[in-house]
Amino acid sequence: MANEGINQENYPIKTIVILVQENHSFDHMLGWMKSLNPEIDGVTGKESNPLSTTDPDSTRIYYSNDSDFIQPDPGHMYQEVYEQIFGVPWTKESSSSGFPPTMEGFAQQAESVEVGLSKVVMSGFKPDDVPVYQDLVMEFAVCDRWFASVPGETQPNRLYLHSATSNGAISNDTSRLIQGFPQKTIFESLEESGLSFGIYYQYPPSTLFYRNLRQLKYIDNFHQFDLNFKQDCEEGTLPNYVVIEQRYFDLQILPGNDDHPSHDISEGQKLIKEVYEALRSSPQWHEILFLVTYDEHGGFYDHVPTPVSDVPSPDGIASPAPYNFQFDRLGVRVPTILISPWIERGTVLHGPSGPYPSSQFEHSSIPATVKKLFNLKDFLTKRDEWAGTFEGILTRASPRTDCPVSLPEPEKMRDGEANEDAKLTEFQVELVQLCAVLKGDYKDGISLEKLVENMKVKEATGYMDVAFKQFCDDCRKAKEEGKDDSYIPPKFLSSSQPSRSTSSIFGRPYPPPAATPTFGRTNATSISGYDFLIAVSFLISPPTNLSPLISATPPSSSTNESVSTRTPPVVGPEVVSAVFSGGVMLLEVTS
């Protein structure tokens, strides 16, 4: 969609789509693409790491191309990444010693955690293992000099994506999670310039870690991916800035598609394929730039030294003790692919040409490029002012007409099903705690740490489902009551406030509220006669008895009920099909 705020004279792009996967280095995911295009700074198999950086006769682990389904989750906390980059364990003394980034500590650090893990982190996927990426790299552009913003975990890096700072965070901080991170984001900059944005989520969106996005005025900027994304692509109504949030939890019925170990990467490939094909078929295709990157390297080896000098702190805020990190160096290199009909086939994007001699591509390059393409007013921090921008990749005078319409179908890599009893990752813990904050549970004296103690994946998704639904219902109710746009619900639920439901059905309130308890648009779609679709937000096992969810009378055009709450008749409609995808169950029923 065109808008006056966009610098339309210089750039053809009106919509930027961002999808950020989890926990893989460039070499691990795309390093072997060098065999297809020698210009890519990838791997050849000559790269290696010693098992001990202090022993000159140490066994060396050479890089291989036999990566398969990844069961362990390699270390990627701040101190672990320090050892991977510099080859020595983090201490207060070593952190101030000025060691060069040798990238020699991956095998040593991994082996100290688990015997044999060094071979896992020193291996990568063959191009055929990631066929969707293989086609995209050959058809569009790959950037082989894109680094994580922080040498640490998921959450601080995801904060940089849309705000060019983590506001001093290098790990989970429960007190700040409750308050929400206060920094200005690219979403607000877009709004100030009269531009639009949309967040298409499959689980409660991590963008709600930003406090300002919890305000009522932004409710309609959140959309369920499975219900709305393809529709908006088909209708040509995608906003100027699109963020795709994936399934961060791995269930048997809904496998995780964020690529986080131990999730099957074929599910992530399916997601990229789905998004690309929807964009490719959209009437907006000639105005789209689609970027796929990863939040951080996940503990996997990469041979390119990370920049450790001349990196500006975004805001002068240091991390808490004991690390006191100044945010003056970057993280490990991560995979990044850029897709647009304005990009020449087989392009390789190396380091940026500015705006400063030391500038690099990193996550702050996203808000920096959005500012440049859309002619926004101000930078967010000193970091996005410094970061390289990637609009130079749009080199064509006219859009290509030979872009593939479809991408290969990936093959399942994991034997067996998802482990629903798996321990939560650090990021999953933070998402559960976020939902607890949105629901208001911590005000009832429930410790956020106690809440997630011993919680497993299936239990977590059930809790999140109920909590997020209640938050969405609070948002709807607050809007109906005419609350101010800056209001952030709930404020927060007190222990004396009764629950909205006295029973539940498979982890969600039952009966459901009359209005759609989700951000964005209604879930109910009227078809003809008594045939209609009922969309039920669903995160865990489907009910064996569907009759309580089904009414013989289809929703009228004036209602926005997601599921009827009327008493079912003795002879009701029959379920003729059920499709599960991305946290949504679609039921086709007929009377």
Burial class of residue 457 (count of CB atoms within 10 Å of its CB; 0-12, 13-18, 19+):
buried
Of 407-421, 439-453, 559-573, which range is least confident? Answer: 559-573
Residue in 429, 425, 515 with CA at minimum distance from that of residue 469: 515
Q: Angle formed by the axes of helices 365-374 and 154-163, to 10°?
A: 20
Q: Does 287 map to a domain? A: yes
Q: Does 322 map to a domain? A: yes
Calculate mean pLDDT across residues 75-94: 94
Neighbours of 184 (CB within 10 A): 18
- For residue 423, what pLDDT is reported? 94
Calculate mean pLDDT across residues 411-419: 90
Looking at the structure, tell me whether residues 504 and 537 fall in a common domain.
no
| Tens digits of residue pLDDT in 151-161 | 999 999 999 99
> What is the C-alpha to C-alpha distance for residues 277 and 384, in angstroms, rounded to an integer?
31
Instruction: Using the predicted structure, report yes or no on whether residue 10 has a pLDDT greater than 80.
Output: no
Looking at the structure, tell me whether residues 464 and 529 fall in a common domain.
no
Of 129-143, 172-186, 383-397, 466-480, which range is least confident? Answer: 172-186
Domain termination site, one of 460, 486, 510 = 510
Looking at the structure, tell me whether residues 152 and 263 fall in a common domain.
yes
- For residue 92, what pLDDT is reported? 86
* CATH number of the structural domain spanning residue 223: 3.40.720.10
Looking at the structure, tell me whether residues 464 and 503 fall in a common domain.
yes
Residue in 330, 346, 154, 163 with CA at minimum distance from that of residue 259: 154
Calculate mean pLDDT across residues 417-438: 93
Q: Does 568 map to a domain? A: yes
Contacts of 123 (CB under 8 A, 6+ apart): 28, 63, 64, 65, 66, 67
> What is the C-alpha to C-alpha distance for residues 185 and 178, in angstroms, rounded to an integer?
18
H-only helix segments in 481-547 = none
Looking at the structure, tell me whether residues 219 and 353 fall in a common domain.
yes
Of 209-213, 424-428, 523-527, which range is least confident? Answer: 523-527
Q: Does 67 map to a domain? A: no
Q: How far is CA 533 from CA 120, 497, 536, 542, 559, in A?
A: 45, 34, 10, 16, 14
Looking at the structure, tell me whether residues 276 and 163 fall in a common domain.
yes
Neighbours of 356 (CB within 10 A): 13
Residue in 162, 149, 96 with CA at minimum distance from that of residue 307: 149
Please, are residues 478 and 489 in contact by the beta-carbon 8 Å criterion?
Answer: yes
Sign of CA dihedral 41, 45, 49, 55: negative
Looking at the structure, tell me whether residues 306 and 370 fall in a common domain.
yes
Distance of CA 347 to the CA centre of its chain: 25
C-alpha torsion 343→345→351→355, nearest 10: -20
> What is the C-alpha to C-alpha distance for residues 564 and 27, in angstroms, rounded to an integer?
50
Please, are residues 147 and 194 in contact by the beta-carbon 8 Å criterion?
Answer: no
Q: What is the model's pTM?
A: 0.85
Instruction: Using the predicted structure, report yes or no on whether residue 444 has a pLDDT greater than 70.
Output: no
Overall number of domains in the chain: 3
Burial letters for 437-450: b for 16+ Cβ neighbours within 10 Å, e otherwise?
bbbbbbbeeeebee
Instruction: Look at 566 and 588; give whichever has higher pLDDT.
Output: 588
**Domain with 451 in it:** 426-510
Of 233-242, 470-479, 523-532, which range is least confident? Answer: 523-532
**What are the structure tokens assigned to 407, written together?**
């991408």
Q: Which helix (H) or strand (E) holds 505?
A: strand 503-505
- For residue 508, what pLDDT is reported? 27
**What are the structure tokens assigned to 543, written together?**
């009910």
Which of the four pLDDT bands, split at 50, 70 and 90, describes residue 519? low
Neighbours of 126 (CB within 10 A): 14
Q: Which residues pair with 48 in a beta bridge?
A: 62
Looking at the structure, tell me whether residues 190 and 247 fall in a common domain.
yes
Please, are residues 211 and 182 in contact by the beta-carbon 8 Å criterion?
Answer: yes
Q: Does 417 map to a domain? A: no
| Tens digits of residue pLDDT in 323-374 | 999 999 999 999 999 999 999 999 999 999 999 999 999 999 999 999 999 9
Q: Does 122 map to a domain? A: no
Q: Does 245 map to a domain? A: yes
Domain termination site, one of 393, 410, 439 = 393
Which segments within 60-166 are labelled E, that is strand?
60-62, 141-143, 146-147
Q: Does 398 map to a domain? A: no
Report how many helices (DSSP H) and strands (DSSP E) the chain contains, helices first.
15, 18
Looking at the structure, tell me whether residues 435 and 371 fall in a common domain.
no
Looking at the structure, tell me whether residues 238 and 293 fall in a common domain.
yes
Looking at the structure, tell me whether residues 492 and 564 fall in a common domain.
no
Looking at the structure, tell me whether residues 235 and 324 fall in a common domain.
yes
Domain termination site, one of 510, 543, 568 = 510
